[in-house]
Chain A
């Protein structure tokens, strides 16, 4: 089945393991992924923090492109992209003024074919009719846990994993939340259904430090340290997440956390799609496990061959 997938730039450029594992897992579930033509950056978190409407034109254009290609839904794996696309769509659906102003930009779109120099104009309005889904939602609502369980190839019942939501999957609740922000369970349900042992821990919705990683790295380190420590205290061997920025703070910057907190022992951080793909029987090399700072292969029961990447 063909299905629109919006990867987003971080996924395509930085966390290619999230992208490759998504493609592999979805293929195993029987889906052929299509990326909307000429997709651009969704704008990360910035367009929603300002009142400027122009920032919402890019995500709206991506959604319109999905519609032009005959899609009625699009899924993402990156929490930020999900949040931006979903909230833009909600704004178009629920706020007539924003609908009008965003479409005023979209109307002026010109597409230039740089080879033939041919200009295309007169694009249609976008009315918010494409359904924006996070892959966790898609699996719950469209694939179904029963079917998911039937396709599991590898036994990963030994993997004790904690589900880490971060902020962008849950808030703001009435615009973009995939679950109750104060007591979510969709991620845990997903992990249980693919066969992991799920560990509950109280820091699952706490902020990882987000972009403070750039401006106040110390604060980001502390936030990430607290999350990993809490997961460890509750008996988790690994942390599952969906956001490339969380992944950066929690995995790639474990070196910085180590400098600040001497008792820090580190922990493997996995994208949920990597665990999904592994459980569905995808080959190890597609998962990009060698890109992690903390090698996750031992907890997946794979013998570590290469040196740990840095």
Chain B
């Protein structure tokens, strides 16, 4: 019945899809048989329904025949349901009166017997006629938007995303778990392929972020929980106590001088030392000291209290407590970055045993002018300048049997850079690189690599290193040259391992809270690998940088800007439209048993304790129907796919 109590006038449009459908299904016969089916007042076939003339045919017919509903019998609804719903809108009927009968993916593509495939197509279309007879003309659900963004992680990707969103005119909360923003990029020495100093390009960006009126930086903070839905998230952020008042601290550094606790410095990858009260690096933002409570002797002044004694401005506050800060945002950019695969995974290289076997980030610090050696290449064990240095690529990458199956993407380039920078600093030294393949896909990358070989005389050997042993103060590298098939044994003063990039340690807990899917390797999963690369399937979450997979700086920055643009898209809308085909509760039938609550993957259902029935958050409900299947009393009926509809569809399907 349509709204006026009259019988619905239904049109059937059968698509040939060129030969995709028509070669297996007798489309004319389908159209002819359907013409006499109860409720159907018009039926036709056409070669491409999705084409302009095809759409016009539907549009005109709806108007001329005064159709109330239409069945487009064509390809999967994921392809063109939206297209045909728009046609319905233009024709002045509800888009929810359009149904797609899939006779391509579910019929012509999987069958070859024309007779039987045609028979099946007829039944599929008939079942959709039965469904549409009971379809309601639903109205989309409208939701408001909170136009503030949360960016998690303040490395280069988080900074870029925050800046771009802020420049769009929206407020940004930038949350970073470390004491300073900057991420891994601020640790790097120089960047390929232009060799500009990382700090020189990074610190201005950090300052820009810190001064931007739309950005609020929250360092030493972690996201505790996220609830709500796209446009309307509630976030709890845990602020760890720094025990130093950021605004009072004047960076005099007296506290650091008196602190008796010496620990390995994370910023320098453990190659130097810091105190328990410290600033991660001189350009840190916020510019303040932080008391690392795990390494402090204890907050009781009787135990130590030296730092508090010497602080002239009384910035040190032992009474600071952990705080939970509640915020509301409309979109979340996840830019949690990466870690390096630890060297203990490759016991044969002795990275944990031999001090002079270092990973790529450690070597970055050794090369850096602000690093522990002031930019002079010295090896960690005895501070000597290494005359022979060996670089090993693919340490833990591209090894599905033992380690990670994927390519870490940046190692070919940064190893070429390392070798080049080493040669600049030690012109009479020998640099050797072991590689499996060289992958230099990127603007000016191949030229950079060739320069390392031609101008800097870096020796490239195609092959893997099997083991590194120590003899005296030398390292002996055993490997093979797979181009000559010869075994290689070579002395080295220092070895640099291009360790695989891996997901940030502990990030899985956060991702669970955000309900963001990850791939087999723990990298964030995008909504579509080609067409939606910066969005998560979970609406309102956007991905940026290495959290999504190994990337170099230019790519990270592009992705961060793209994520910011997507946030801009979202915020530019007046209100959000949510599909109305959700599962409401019929309160007369609901017994309040609550079976549907744990079944719901979107946390959309909860118990109304007063009424003793289940209530539904319509915006959270994605209409998956899990609750409708679970409900024992029939109180949960999916809109436009009720039990009645399903039964009449099944009957139509089974009738001869």
Contact = CB atoms under 8 A, between A and B. Distances in A.
Nearest to B476: A202
A202 B347 contact: no
Interface string A175-201: 000001111000000000000000000
B471 interface: yes
Contacts of B352: 183
B545 to A, nearest CB: 32
Please indicate which of the listed interface residues A183, A202, A203 has the most CB atoms of chain B within 10 Å of its own CB.
Answer: A202
B347 A182 contact: yes
Nearest to B472: A233
A203 B469 contact: yes
Contacts of A183: 344, 347, 352-353
B599 interface: no
A182 B346 contact: yes
Q: How large is the interface on B (under 10, 10 to 19, 20 to 34, 35 or more residues)?
A: 10 to 19
B346 A202 contact: no
Contacts of B353: 183
Contacts of A230: 469, 471
B317 interface: no
B471 A233 contact: yes
B469 A182 contact: no
Contacts of A180: 347
B348 interface: yes
A230 B348 CA distance: 16
B488 to A, nearest CB: 15
Contacts of A181: 347
B470 interface: yes
Contacts, number: 19
B321 to A, nearest CB: 43
Nearest to A206: B467
A59 to B, nearest CB: 26
Nearest to B353: A183
A251 B240 CA distance: 62
Nearest to B470: A202
A96 to B, nearest CB: 23
Interface in B461-477: 467, 469-471, 476
A230 B478 CA distance: 15
Interface string A148-189: 000000000000000000000000000000001111000000
A183 B346 CA distance: 9
A203 B348 CA distance: 11
Contacts of A202: 350, 467, 469-471, 476
Interface in B345-360: 346-348, 350, 352-353
B348 A182 contact: yes
B395 to A, nearest CB: 13
Contacts of A233: 471
B499 to A, nearest CB: 15
A182 B344 CA distance: 9
B367 to A, nearest CB: 28
A178 to B, nearest CB: 15
A267 B419 CA distance: 42
Contacts of B346: 182
Nearest to B469: A202
Interface in A98-115: none
A230 B489 CA distance: 15
Contacts of B471: 202, 230, 233
Nearest to B349: A182
A20 B469 CA distance: 36
A182 B345 CA distance: 9
A181 B348 CA distance: 9
A183 B348 CA distance: 7
B242 to A, nearest CB: 38
A183 B351 CA distance: 11
Contacts of B348: 182
Interface in B307-350: 344, 346-348, 350
A255 B303 CA distance: 67
Interface in B445-485: 467, 469-471, 476
A233 B470 CA distance: 11
A26 to B, nearest CB: 32
Nearest to B475: A202
B325 to A, nearest CB: 44
A202 B471 CA distance: 9
In the A-B complex, list the 6 residue pairs whose CB atoms are closest, starting with the nearest. Answer: A182-B347, A202-B469, A183-B347, A182-B348, A180-B347, A202-B470
Interface of B: 344, 346-348, 350, 352-353, 467, 469-471, 476
5 contacts: A181-B347, A182-B347, A202-B350, A203-B469, A233-B471
Given A182-B346, A202-B470, 7 more contacts: A181-B347, A183-B344, A183-B352, A183-B353, A202-B476, A230-B471, A233-B471
